Amino acid sequence: MVTPQTQKPASPGTGGSPFPSELDLVALRDDLKRAVAQTCPRWMADRSDDIIQVALLRVVDIYRKREGNAEFSSFYLRKAAYSAVIDEIRRLRRRQEVPLEDETAETRYDPPADGPDPERVATSRQVGRAIQECLGQLVPPRRLAVTLNLQGHSVPEVGRLMDWSTKKAENLVYRGMADLRGCLDGKGVVR
């Protein structure tokens, strides 16, 4: 925790490091607390004090670098708070921390499944069959355009692959996709 010294900023050339007064730090921390409260997601509320502290340290560091000639607008403080929140999220993702509820209680984690559950497999097969049936009902140029698009080709790539103009490829893809959606809706396949 920062323990501010109550002193006036040192003038340049005296060798001392400028430091905001204790009253300035209290006001600055309050402003940062409001900014963090606006930007911090609820699932990180327990870390808000740490985030405020990191943002405060950054702002004080900027204050020192500018030799005490820094004024911080509310926009700058929100930006500093946002930056501190993002850095904390990145740090958590890197570490992938798992909070322990109770260290004395036995915690058992189930291993991840080797594959999807049988219900999901059956549903996927039904959807796949429905898509194949609906694709079979499309007129050949639309079927080709939609199939290429579903395989990940962009509309201009579909045009180049089929030696069509971009406009023709666009029309065939979009109309074919509309026909495919209509057919799948008719079969009761949920999107």
Domains and CATH numbers, the chain: 22-95 (no CATH), 119-186 (1.10.10.10)
pTM: 0.41
Report residue 75 CA to chain centroid gap.
22
Calculated CA dihedral for residues 88, 37, 52, 99, nearest 10 degrees: -50
For the chain, which ranges sit under pLDDT 50? Answer: 1-17
- For residue 163, what pLDDT is reported? 94
- For residue 175, what pLDDT is reported? 95
- For residue 31, what pLDDT is reported? 85
**Structure-token match 């698009």, residue found:** 149
